[in-house]
């Protein structure tokens, strides 16, 4: 077999593999059982929530103690390893597949000449469906980059376009926040993240794309929507509508809640505050909330 054929065979195997198709930086990628990954992800979120509370209360010693606990557990890198395994087909799969399906349903063809620009916030892989589909030029960012094609950057401090021309050239047609909003440890921070998304969205390139672009692809763990005291789908829709979005596609799977919100340019938006208000009550419910100030 020629070297080229061998390499093709190897990359094919890697793409269908359930392990990351790239070396992670500075960490061994040993396989974790699904129970271990779930526990690790949950514990990482809980510790970050406690850290935020300690920081807000000015409890410096307590905050340092929690930081140490996070690091002892392997920190963000270990959490990312657990998340990568969660993306494997046996564990819920690649969430960006549905985005491509939806865009095709909305009439987008993969053979269109001008590539669309996608900003993937919280990118762990460079070979997921949105990277492979050929529709997008993908810009990937993450707080902790696991690959040279992922820029290490906090979305909240990403420099915004300086003017309209900059936004039209360097802005995006789609922004993906897949399992990122729930990473933010406090409701106000989540609201802030949703608020800045539109600053990076550009106008649709062609008139026939006006019903599809630009948009936000949002994925959350299903219980954030179906089992929260403070948030349900109607509330999320109302919040997004106040920010200028139309809920265009939704899907609930056994584990995840998926949304595509189209941003409507030039639509007068009524700036509305959404506080943390109890919508329903049951002892087994969680406290996930989003606050728009």
Ligand X SMILES: C[S@@+](CC[C@H](N)C(=O)[O-])C[C@H]1O[C@@H](n2cnc3c(N)ncnc32)[C@H](O)[C@@H]1O
Residues in binding site for S-adenosyl-L-methionine? 122, 142
Q: What is d(CA 203, CA 158) in angstroms, rounded to the nearest whole number?
A: 20
Q: What is d(CA 113, CA 133) in angstroms, rounded to the nearest whole number?
A: 13
Order of strands across the sheet that contains 174-178: 151-152, 136-142, 116-121, 174-178, 215-221, 256-263, 245-252
Q: Which residues contact 285 (CB under 8 A, 6 or more apart)?
A: 227, 228, 229
Tell me if 128 sits within 8 A of 160, measured CB to CB: no
Site for ligand X in 202-221 (CB under 6 A): 219
Q: How far is the CB of 54 from ligand X (least distance, A)?
A: 19
Q: Which is nearer to ligand X, 87 or 212 (CB)?
A: 87
Query: Binding site membership: which residues?
Result: 122, 142
143 binds ligand X per the rule CB under 6 A:
yes
Stretch that binds ligand X, among 44-52, 105-113, 141-149, 208-216 (CB under 6 A): 141-149
71 binds ligand X per the rule CB under 6 A:
no
Tell me if 215 sits within 8 A of 169, measured CB to CB: no
142 binds ligand X per the rule CB under 6 A:
yes
Among the listed residues 48, 63, 70, 80, the single contact to ligand X using CB under 6 A: 80
Contacts with ligand X: how many residues (CB under 6 A)? Answer: 20
Site for ligand X in 86-115 (CB under 6 A): 87, 95
Q: How far is the CB of 207 from ligand X (least distance, A)?
A: 31
Q: Which is nearer to ligand X, 174 or 204 (CB)?
A: 174
Name the one residue in this structure whose structure tokens are 């406090």. Answer: 186
Tell me if 81 sits within 8 A of 27, measured CB to CB: yes
Contact residues toward ligand X (CB under 6 A) are 76, 80, 83, 87, 95, 121-122, 124, 141-144, 154-156, 178-180, 183, 219
């Amino acid at each position: 077999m020629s070297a080229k054929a061998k390499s093709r065979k190897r990359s094919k195997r890697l793409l269908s593999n359930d392990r990351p198709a790239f070396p992670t930086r500075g960490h061994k990628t040993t396989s974790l059982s699904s129970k271990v990954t779930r526990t690790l992800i949950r514990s990482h979120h809980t510790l970050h929530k406690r850290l935020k509370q300690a920081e807000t209360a000015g409890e410096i010693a307590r905050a340092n103690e929690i930081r140490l606990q996070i690091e002892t557990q392997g920190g963000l890198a270990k959490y990312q390893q657990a998340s990568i395994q969660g993306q494997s087909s046996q564990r819920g799969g690649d969430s960006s597949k549905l985005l491509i399906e939806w865009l095709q349903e909305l009439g987008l063809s993969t053979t269109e000449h001008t590539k669309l620009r996608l900003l993937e916030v919280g990118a762990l892989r460079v070979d997921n469906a949105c990277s492979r589909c050929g529709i997008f030029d993908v810009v990937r960012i993450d707080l902790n980059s696991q690959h040279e094609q992922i820029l290490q950057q906090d979305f909240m401090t990403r420099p915004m376009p300086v003017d309209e021309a900059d936004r039209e050239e360097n802005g995006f047609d789609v922004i993906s926040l897949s399992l990122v909003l729930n990473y933010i440890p406090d409701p106000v921070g989540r609201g802030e993240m949703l608020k800045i998304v539109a600053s990076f969205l550009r106008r649709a390139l062609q008139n026939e794309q006006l019903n599809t672009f630009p948009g936000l692809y949002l994925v959350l763990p299903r219980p954030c929507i179906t089992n929260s005291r403070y948030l349900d789908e109607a509330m999320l829709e109302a919040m997004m509508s106040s920010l200028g979005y139309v809920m265009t596609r939704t899907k609930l799977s056994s584990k995840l809640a998926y949304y595509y919100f189209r941003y409507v340019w030039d639509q007068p938006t009524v700036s509305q505050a959404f506080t943390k208000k109890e919508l329903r009550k049951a002892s087994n419910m969680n406290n996930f909330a989003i606050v728009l100030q």
